[in-house]
Structure formats: structure tokens, C-alpha cells
Structure 1
């Protein structure tokens, strides 16, 4: 199985990665692994922004 390294990506890069993943015809098990990795990367990015000064002014509803 392919080892995917965590890379800091911009929001646009993450969106493009997701769109490429959706359009690919990968076997389900590989696509699931890649999607889980992308999910972790998105959660990590959100967590780092929310806990920074950039996220300080974020209005929670």
C-alpha cells in the first residue's frame, strides 16, 4: 500500500486534490485511504487556523 506523507497544502490545493480523487478510477480501498488522508490534512489545517490569530475573529454561530 502507498504511504502518503502529510503535506501542508492551500485550501485550493486540497480542493483540487479532492476533485482529482473523485474523478479517478482508483480501487475503492486506495481511494478510501487517500480520502482519509485528505480529511486528516483538512482537519489539521482548520485546527491550526482556529487556534491562531487568523482564527481569533472567527464568528461561531
Structure 2
């Protein structure tokens, strides 16, 4: 069960990583439609790196 949980978590991290990459391509009008500020977008996009992905994966492992 632990291994399955870890694989599910990694899959969720991949989805978040891809979403953050897509978020970088949105225009300001599209951001307002979604309800995300430019500051929040910049914060999320900054995590769309290999380092951010690794931190996201390790956050579950540390708990």
C-alpha cells in the first residue's frame, strides 16, 4: 500500500508540475477569468522547475 500511495503522490506532483507550466502561458485576461492574480501566478510558476518538483515529491515523503 505504501508504494501505491507513493506512486499516486508522484503522479499528482506531475500533474501539478504540468499545470504550473501551462499557467505561465496564460494571459492577464485568462488569469482574471480563472481568478488568479499575477503575483500568485508568479509564485506558482517559480515552482515549475525540477527543484520545485523534487520539493513537492519530498513533502509527502517527509511526513
Same fold (TM over 0.5): no
TM-score for both structures, normalised by structure 1: 0.45
TM-score for both structures, normalised by structure 2: 0.44
Structure with greater helix share of residues: 2
